[in-house]
Amino acid sequence: MVDSVFISELSSAEFKAKVAAGAPVFLPLGATEQHGPHLPLGVDVVLPTGVCERVAREVGGLVAPTIPYGYKSQPRSGGGEAFPGTISLDANTFSLVIRDVIRSLGHHGVRRFVLVIGHFENTWPSVEGLDLGLRELRRDGITDVTALRLEYWDFVDRSTLDRLFPDGFPGTELEHASLLETSLMLLLRPELVDMSKVPSDGPAKFPNYDVTPFPKGLVPASGVLADARGSSAEKGQWLMDDHVRKIAAAVKKELGL
């Protein structure tokens, strides 16, 4: 049998056997979105996929193909839709993709799901997609499904954040293309990071409300919302260790593994 957690690298028969053995299926929910001049457009795909791969190994799970497009980038959390290369789905489309994938996996016997959000804006549309998918399965007579839905960045120790941000954590929304994402990319795909291009035009100062059209000049021209200076693979490893340990513990607890 192939030793991979990725469904796309298994044969149909290998997939069937692992699902029959009760393997939970992780579904990373990514995005294709600008991440400043120093990071590629695929950050929100690479990071949740990498987290899911490691947690799945730990708990005997499988990783479904990552959804590569997310709900629309918002100015206050991703810089907005205007940056070239940001490719987004309507919330309805995004949630229906999740619904269909869950229905399909459910029909193939999957009874444990873990949806892992890698893009801030995917949060509520993923709640909707999961709800619709589970509703369809119930209507098809499949009533014994358990599902977790989480944002990977929430699984970090306070002490780790204190080590990373001695002057105070700016908050998850402003971390777009900043220290956390850049450090994790330096850990997972350093060849895709150009630290010589890290800008210094942040951090953004946003009002605590949305305005449409969004006032010009509030989003830093670089698209980096906080600060990526000081990022390192070592810091990425601190984060990854927390993410994997804490998500694995939640998955084991809630899915009875």
Binding residues (CB under 5 A) for Mn ion: these are 31, 33, 44, 78, 119
Collapse the DSSP code of 213 into the 3-class scheme (helix H, G, I; strand E, B; otherwise coil) and give the result: coil
Active site residue 234: no
Using CB under 5 A as the binding rule, the residues of this chain from 180 to 239 that contact Zn ion are 181
d(Cα 227, Cα 155) in Å, to the nearest integer?
21
Nearest residue to Mn ion, by Cβ distance, number only: 119
Active-site option among 119, 175, 227, 243: 119
Using CB under 5 A as the binding rule, the residues of this chain from 22 to 61 that contact Zn ion are 43-44
CB-hemisphere CA count at 13 Å for 130? 22
Active site residue 254: no
Nearer to Zn ion, 171 or 256 (CB): 171
Peptide bond into 213 cis (omega under 30): yes
Active-site option among 38, 151, 175, 176: 176
d(Cα 33, Cα 17) in Å, to the nearest integer?
36
| Part of the chain binding Zn ion (CB under 5 A), chosen from 58-66, 130-138, 177-185, 192-200 | 177-185
| Part of the chain binding Zn ion (CB under 5 A), chosen from 100-108, 131-139, 155-163, 179-187 | 179-187
- Where b means 16+ CB within 10 Å and e means fewer, 183-209 reads bbbbbbbeeebeeeebbeebebebeee
Active site residue 44: yes
Nearer to Zn ion, 124 or 138 (CB): 124
Q: How far is the CB of 243 from Zn ion (least distance, A)?
A: 14
Judged by CB under 5 A, does residue 242 bind Zn ion? no
Specify whether the CB–CB gap between 254 and 148 falls below 8 A. Answer: yes
Specify whether the CB–CB gap between 105 and 65 falls below 8 A. Answer: no
State the binding partner of 151 from Mn ion, Zn ion, none, CB within 5 to 8 A by kind: none
Active site residue 176: yes
Q: How far is the CB of 59 from Mn ion (least distance, A)?
A: 26
Indicate the residue type of 240: M
Q: How far is the CB of 181 from Zn ion (least distance, A)?
A: 5
Active-site option among 38, 44, 175, 243: 44
d(Cα 257, Cα 2) in Å, to the nearest integer?
22
Specify whether the CB–CB gap between 29 and 37 falls below 8 A. Answer: no
The residues that are catalytic are: 33, 35, 44, 119, 121, 176, 181
Residues that bind Zn ion (CB under 5 A): 43-44, 181
